[in-house]
Amino acid sequence: MCREVAAACMELCLLVGVALGAPPRRRLLRVLPRPARAEPSQVGIEATVVVQEADDELAEDRLQQRPWLQRHLPTGSGTSEDLLLHFMQALEERGVQLYEAQEEAIVEIFSGAHVVLDTPTGSGKSLVAVAALFKALAEGGKAYYTSPTKALTSEKFFDLCRHFGPASVGMATGDISLNQRAPLICCTAEVLASISLHEGQASGITTVVMDEFHYFADADRGSAWEALRKAVEAANFASPFGAELRALLLKGVGVHHAGLLPRYRRLVEQLSQASLLALVCGTDTLGVGVNVPIRSVLFTSIAGPCVLKQFEPISAYCGRL
């Protein structure tokens, strides 16, 4: 009798404990009849499936966090058509539609041809260059991306890091050397020339992209462009209009008027005096006490009667080279 009372009390304690401390689902399972216990082999299979699904979800999350082109690099070998398909899928994911010239150049690159692309500014030559680099990395090659200046090399380095991931990209400018074992190296033309002369085919370079290559054959334009870059990079553009002015100056366009900060006006004047700007949009303040070489002057409007002393300051610069 004592044993039966003790067993009943123990069962009551278990029920109370479940009711107070367990979640509703466990509480319901404890009160209702227990289902038949699954076979050990079946439990193992179900657990394996759950773990596999969790691993797949984690792998997918990690994949989505990788740079957009790195996600589409194939893991194994494939034909040139397969690699082209991977690249086109990456573009489709980004919603990128190719121009006719881009599509033609990219197809030629993946077929193994050498390509010289001469299209207007803003027509997407950089995307074609990225396609060549994608092909090189997918094939396990070593690619070099060259530009004529250190500033542009640095800019392209960060762009390619966003495309392919920092681990895949290095940089060499003579002053800076980063991640030289990476399969993709951004460098100045001089660095690649030195490697080619000293190592030749032993360098292992499989792909070369030469950005702005038309500057390499023109010593005067190449050095002038380098001088413009250096002057602009050294300036302080910490103001609301600074970023916009910097972008214009790097394109060879200056702005000059009384509303500009003095340091910006002086910078535009210095670049103009060095013949580093192709165009300056300004008011007559440019003609007050500043000797600037200008080939031609265009007046967009003349308000009211114009006397000689107002007209001469700027018009007199015409032809002063």
Q: CB-based burial of residue 154 (10 Å sphere; 0-12 exposed, 13-18 middle, 19+ buried)? A: middle
Is residue 203 in some structural domain? Answer: yes
Instruction: Specify if 320 maps to a domain.
Output: no
| Residue 10 maps to a domain | no
Q: Are residues 173 and 307 in the same domain?
A: no
- 19 in a structural domain: no
177 and 303 inside one domain: no
Interacting residues of 239 by C-beta distance below 8 A, sequence separation 6+:
261
Tens-level pLDDT at each residue, the chain (321 residues)? 445 544 444 443 333 333 333 344 443 334 434 545 555 555 555 555 555 554 555 444 454 567 888 888 887 777 889 999 999 999 998 888 899 999 999 999 999 999 998 887 777 888 999 999 999 999 999 999 998 778 788 889 999 999 999 999 999 987 889 999 999 999 988 888 888 878 888 889 999 999 877 665 665 555 666 677 778 888 888 988 888 999 899 888 999 887 888 888 889 888 888 778 888 888 766 665 566 777 777 777 776 676 666 666 556 655 444
Whether residue 182 sits in one domain with residue 94: yes
Give the pLDDT score at 2.
Answer: 44
Query: 203 and 281: one domain?
Result: no
- 75 and 192 share one domain: yes
What pLDDT does 227 receive?
Answer: 75
Q: Does residue 57 lie in a domain region? A: no
Residues 210 and 77 in one domain: yes
Question: Residue 207: what are its φ and ψ, rounded to 5°?
Answer: -140, 135
**Full-prediction pTM beyond 0.85?**
no
Same-domain status, 196 and 98: yes
Is the same domain home to 190 and 250?
no
For 278, the domain range is 219-315
Residues in a beta bridge with 209? 145
Domain final position from 152, 182, 215: 215
Same domain as 99, residue 209 = yes
Residue with the two structure tokens 């034909």: 79
Q: Does 84 share its domain with 168? A: yes
Output b/e per residue, 258-274; b: 16+ Cβ within 10 A: eebeeebbebbbebbee
